[in-house]
């Protein structure tokens, strides 16, 4: 006698029910993970651009600027010797994905590094995105010695202390 192999309809429906429950619990977490990764990417790109401007300022012994590529930082930025605006041949450039908003919280139209690699002011950038009724944000600021530091959450009105240590947990809030 031949034995039948396969699934019964009840087993198939139970499997689909379990799959749908797992999917509904995992997808929101995955969306938040993707949002945090996008924030991390943009934050790292801005940190790299600031580090490039700082090292070029030291190497060339002249001022190097990080400027918004268009009217806002959310459009992207460029690293330039010319403080007037982005040219056809920047030292570096980055275009921000549309789902990310970058805003300058310090009021500076540019970040200028002098020949010693120090920033003229304390620039603070808030990088944020929204996912599933949650806002994920990171504050990136430049310390007085010229190093760029990223911290989860919104920007404070002043620069944190030198050498502050932050973890990426807590970048998203309800």
Which residues constitute the domain of residue 105?
Answer: 10-173
Give me the mean pLDDT over the 122-131 stretch: 86
Give me the mean pLDDT over the 1-30 stretch: 84
In a domain, 110, yes or no: yes
In a domain, 2, yes or no: no
Entry pTM: 0.77
- CB under 8 Å, gap of 24 or more: what pairs does 69-72 form? 69/93, 69/94, 69/95, 72/102, 72/103
In a domain, 4, yes or no: no
In a domain, 25, yes or no: yes
In a domain, 108, yes or no: yes
Provide the CATH number for the domain around residue 161.
3.55.40.10
Question: What is the number of structural domains in the chain?
Answer: 1
- What is the tens place of the pLDDT at every residue in 70-112? 888 999 999 998 777 787 778 888 899 888 999 888 887 889 9
């Amino acid at each position: 006698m031949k034995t039948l192999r396969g699934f019964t309809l009840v087993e198939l429906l139970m499997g689909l029910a379990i799959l749908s429950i797992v999917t509904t619990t995992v997808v929101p977490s995955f969306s938040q993970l993707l949002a945090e990764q996008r924030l991390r990417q943009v934050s790292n790109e801005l940190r790299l651009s600031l580090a490039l401007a700082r090292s070029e300022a030291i190497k060339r012994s002249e001022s190097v600027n990080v400027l918004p590529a268009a009217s806002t930082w959310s459009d992207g930025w460029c690293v330039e010797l010319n403080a007037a605006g982005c040219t056809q041949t920047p030292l570096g450039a980055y275009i921000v994905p549309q789902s990310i908003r970058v805003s300058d919280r310090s009021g500076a139209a540019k970040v200028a590094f002098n020949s010693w690699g120090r920033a003229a002011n304390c620039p603070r950038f808030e990088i944020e995105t929204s996912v599933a009724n949650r806002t994920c944000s990171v504050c990136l600021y430049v310390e007085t010695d010229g190093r760029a530091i990223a911290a989860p959450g919104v920007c404070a009105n002043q620069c944190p202390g030198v050498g502050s240590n932050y973890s990426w947990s807590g970048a998203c809030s309800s």
